[in-house]
Amino acid sequence: MFGLEALDLARIQFAFTISFHILFPAITIGLASYLAVLEGLWLKTRDDTYRDLYHFWSKIFAVNFGMGVVSGLVMAYQFGTNWSRFSDFAGSVTGPLLTYEVLTAFFLEAGFLGVMLFGWNKVGRKLHFFSTVMVAIGTLISTFWILSSNSWMQTPQGYEIVNGQVIPVDWLAVIFNPSFPYRLAHMAVAAFVATAFFVGSSAAWHLLRGRDNPAIRRMLSMAMWMALIVAPVQAVIGDFHGLNTLKHQPAKIAAIEGHWENVGNEPTPLILFGWPDMKAEKTRFAVEIPYLGSLILTHSLDKQVPALKEFPPEDRPNSTIVFWSFRIMVGLGMLMIFTGLWSLWLRKRDTLYTSRPFLYLALWMGPSGLIAILAGWFTTEIGRQPWVVYGLMRTADASSGHSFVQMSITLALFVVVYFSLFGVGIGYMMRLVRKGPVTNEGAETSHGGPGQKRTPARPLSAADDDHDADHGTRLNKGN
């Protein structure tokens, strides 16, 4: 079917499940830190707006966290079901790294998550804030171990191969492999950027519909400050990451650039747009800027970038895909920087919350961070091909060898189950976003917080409130 083989279906299945999964941890990482900031600001200022925002986003965090855990379990199982030869070859490295994640991050998150979500009226303020901070730290520790494992597959270090299996001999070299620091920073900052635009988009949605209150304004303000600061930082980190990739995975850079061959000693141009043709070994309809490829990738005007024809055809990544996935990521990144700068200009003119063109842009930029993360992961993972462990094990040698029929059935089941299960979860999460923060403006209530009642922090409270409202409406109609 479509010229696909069982190996192709196994790769598509893994790509499908990890694409679903990565969206949830990205928002979890960003929201956990956002919640810690909100509660810290509330404790410091006693401004009830921060508390109301904490209650609102903690519900969304809880739903998102649950979906992330469920989708993550599937990823671990797939290493044994579809990629058993990889597990046999490199399991002595990847297995302990994932175990460290469970023993440190997951246990830390599980230990404090209950206090964070359900202890608002049951524990002291300092203990509750401490629990929120621990959950936030746990998400970052989880990112540390996951990125260490994946980065080792990109730039393996600290190992020996004995009897066809990888044996770790230097765990510091394994963990802190050459690409790890750059990829860790890139992913963590990407999560913060994605969350900023998710929060900013929800605020813009409410403002465009005339719901203007201090909580909504604070959401947009904090999100745009984060975008203004972090989006340019992400561009700088991406530049360092690119230099590291050029050094350790030159074929990936050549594929990203759609660069097929060097001419004499001429510097490498930057191909802005085009269509890399793997069979014809050239990039069709190329729009080039002379010298710029060398300037960006080598920080010089005379050095050349490695070309795809310098590598055997069987060692070349699919340039057609990574060429465009990379440009989607970079293009969205430029839009994020522009959005942050525009927000600063509007803030100085005191029209940040009333400029409808900007609010529409902020609204449509809501999923931009998540799309950029997916595009970045496609670039990273497809650009590593044909290797599953770069330079050591080919992807074709890593699969379990299931038949085409088996992979077709399981892939179809995954698609149906994921869209059904997580579609409902995402729909409910969007329902919470549309509901917006409950501020109780004008009502005589206590200041809330641990030990005092006010807005409930239960993840399903929105459903309960809607149910009560619908029930009351039906009773009134009946009377």
Q: What is the pLDDT of residue 8?
A: 85
Residue 448 clears pLDDT 60, i.e. is over it: no
Query: Of the candidates 155, 218, 221, 215, which has an alpha carbon nearest to the alpha carbon of residue 183?
Result: 155
Number of helices followed by number of strands (H, E) in the chain: 15, 6
Identify the band that residue 231 occupies on the pLDDT scale cut at 50, 70 and 90: very high
Which range has the worst mean pLDDT, 4-18, 267-281, 451-465? 451-465
Structure tokens at 173: 């070299």
> Which of 146-149's residues contact partners 24+ apart within 8 Å by CB, and which partners?
146/98, 146/101, 147/180, 147/183, 147/184, 147/187, 148/97, 148/174, 148/175, 148/176, 148/177, 148/180, 148/184, 149/93, 149/94, 149/97, 149/98
Q: What is the pLDDT of residue 2?
A: 59
Distance from CA of residue 30 to its chain's centroid?
Answer: 9
Residue 474 clears pLDDT 70, i.e. is over it: no
Residues 391-403 have a mean pLDDT of 89
* Whether the predicted model's global pTM rises above the 0.85 cut: yes
Q: What angle do CA 36, 42, 44 make, to 5 degrees?
A: 100
Residues 75-79 have a mean pLDDT of 79
Identify the band that residue 446 occupies on the pLDDT scale cut at 50, 70 and 90: very low
Query: Of the candidates 454, 447, 467, 366, which has an alpha carbon nearest to the alpha carbon of residue 23?
Result: 366
Residue 452 clears pLDDT 60, i.e. is over it: no
Which residues touch 138 (CB under 8 Å, ≥6 apart)?
32, 104, 105, 106, 108, 109, 112
What distance separates the 2 farthest-apart alpha carbons in the chain?
88
Q: What is the pLDDT of residue 198?
A: 95
- The mean pLDDT of the chain is 87
Identify the band that residue 107 occupies on the pLDDT scale cut at 50, 70 and 90: confident
Residues 387-404 have a mean pLDDT of 89
Residue 444 clears pLDDT 70, i.e. is over it: no
What is the per-residue pLDDT across 16-45, written as a single tens digit (0 to 9) for each? 888 888 888 899 999 999 999 999 999 999
% of the chain with per-residue pLDDT over 90: 58
What is the per-residue pLDDT across 312-336, written as a single tens digit (0 to 9) for each? 999 999 999 999 999 999 999 999 9
Residues 106-111 have a mean pLDDT of 84
Residues 129-148 have a mean pLDDT of 93
Positive/negative CA dihedral, 187, 130, 201, 427: positive
Scan for tokens 């600001």, then name that residue. 41
* Rg of the chain over all Cα atoms, to the nearest angstrom: 24
Instruction: Specify the length of the chain in residues.
Output: 479
Separation between Cα atoms, residue 135 and residue 32, nearest integer Å: 7
Structure tokens at 95: 């297995």
Cα(first)–Cα(last) distance of the chain, in Å? 61
% of the chain with per-residue pLDDT over 70: 91
Residue 205, amino acid:
W
Q: What is the pLDDT of residue 453?
A: 44
Identify the band that residue 447 occupies on the pLDDT scale cut at 50, 70 and 90: very low
Query: Of the candidates 196, 227, 226, 218, which has an alpha carbon nearest to the alpha carbon of residue 366?
Result: 196
Residues 209-227 have a mean pLDDT of 93
Q: What is the pLDDT of residue 440?
A: 60
Residue 60 clears pLDDT 50, i.e. is over it: yes
Q: Which segments of 46-124 does DSSP mark as H helices, in order?
A: 48-81, 84-101, 107-118
Residue 468 clears pLDDT 60, i.e. is over it: no
Residue 5 clears pLDDT 90, i.e. is over it: no
Residue predicted with more confidence, 452 or 423: 423
What is the per-residue pLDDT across 356-365, written as a single tens digit (0 to 9) for each? 999 999 999 9
CA atoms within a 13 Å half-sphere pointing along the CA-CB vector of 243: 12
Residues 415-422 have a mean pLDDT of 87
Residues 87-97 have a mean pLDDT of 91
Q: What is the pLDDT of residue 262?
A: 87
Q: What is the pLDDT of residue 322?
A: 94
Residue 455 clears pLDDT 50, i.e. is over it: no
Residue 472 clears pLDDT 50, i.e. is over it: no
Which residues touch 338 (CB under 8 Å, ≥6 apart)?
none
